[in-house]
Amino acid sequence: MSMTGRLGATLRGMIARPSGAIGVALVAAHVVLALVSPWIAPYDFKAVSAAMILDPPNAAHWLGTDQLGRDVLTRTIMGGRQAMLVTLIATPVAVAWGGMLGIHLGLVGGRLDDVVMRIVDAFLSLPWILKMLLMIVTFGAGIGVLVPVLAFFYGIPVIRIARAATHGVVARDFVLAARARGHGRFSIIRRELLPNVLDALLVEGAMRWSWMLLAFSSLSFLGFGVSPPTPDWGLMIADARSFMAIAPWAGFAPVLALSSLIIGINLAADALAKTLGVDRAAASAH
């Protein structure tokens, strides 16, 4: 089956499940909205008005206004653009480098495997927020820093998943036959191992995407992500937290937007795992 045919079959298998159809629809809606939001936003996201500070939802501003008089609907529908841009770049990079290293370790084993996995365990034992904040404080904020930071730290757990998946394949006859024929290490990885662990990596990538989105929004909430006045859900939640008692709409809208995207990704990831026959619980346990 061609790659296009396999992708189509996988997508049909995901949509055939009710939860998968909901997840794919939510993710697709957010992706389309991120692409077209600059053209459908009712107002300029930077426009402020002292006369409309914390206005409740009304005919002119369907979701009300924030503490600077900015339209909440405009900033909400545009608030996912930066998060999706960063994470859609960082996620494939994380899966690629973590997956290839994990496959290599699963194939060669030995002292290199032991040393690298002890380093991986050390990284995973530390809270992710402290590691990321240290890197961001050292190198600065901005997309140019956030992409490699997220890709690096979220690629580390992928190493364990890819290594475990490789262990289930490396002892099979076709790998032993390739070794007997004198195929090199990277030839075996490309021809024999990668095609057989790709499904696990795809599912892991979907899981990492949702976690990266949460991490990105958390960094923005703490002031280390997107810089004002760029609309971002995490930043909007941080700005609205002081006014939740009197203007809850300013905080509820970005929370609902972020939650719907995370729920959609997780539903789609579950459907993808079931369609591909990947046990997410077993993979996460490694």
All structural domains of the chain, each given as residue ranges with its CATH number in brackets, are: 3-40+65-285 (1.10.3720.10)
Maximum alpha-carbon separation in the chain: 78
* Ranges under pLDDT 70 in the chain: 1-3, 280-286
208, 209, 174, 211: which is closest to 193 by C-alpha? 174
Token pair recorded at residue 278: 């990947």
Identify whether the C-beta of residue 103 lies closer than 8 Å to the C-beta of residue 155: no
Q: Among the residues of the chain, which ranges form H helices?
A: 3-15, 18-40, 72-77, 81-108, 110-124, 128-139, 143-167, 173-180, 185-188, 194-222, 233-240, 249-276, 280-285
Alpha-carbon distance 173 to 30, whole Å?
44
Task: Write down the pLDDT at residue 2.
Answer: 59
What pLDDT score was predicted for residue 280? Answer: 57
Residues in the chain: 286
User: Structure pTM?
Assistant: 0.91
- What span, in angstroms and rounded, lies between the C-alpha atoms of 226 and 220? 6
Other Cβ atoms less than 10 A from the Cβ of 284: the count is: 12
**Which phi-psi region, left, alpha or beta, contains residue 114 (left: φ > 0; alpha: ψ -120 to 50)?**
alpha
∠ Cα 30 142 158 (to 5°):
65
Contact criterion met (CB below 8 Å) for 200 and 278:
yes
Please state at what angle helix 143-167 crosses helix 81-108, rounded to 10 degrees.
40
Residue 65, strand partner residues: 71
Helix (H, G, I), strand (E, B) or coil at 159: helix
Cα separation, 237 vs 233, in Å, equals 6
pLDDT value at position 168?
A: 84
Residue 236, exposed/middle/buried by CB under 10 A (0-12, 13-18, 19+)? buried
Q: Is 72 helix (H, G, I), strand (E, B) or coil?
A: helix
Q: What is the pLDDT of residue 1?
A: 56
Interatomic CA distance for residues 50 and 149, integer angstroms: 38
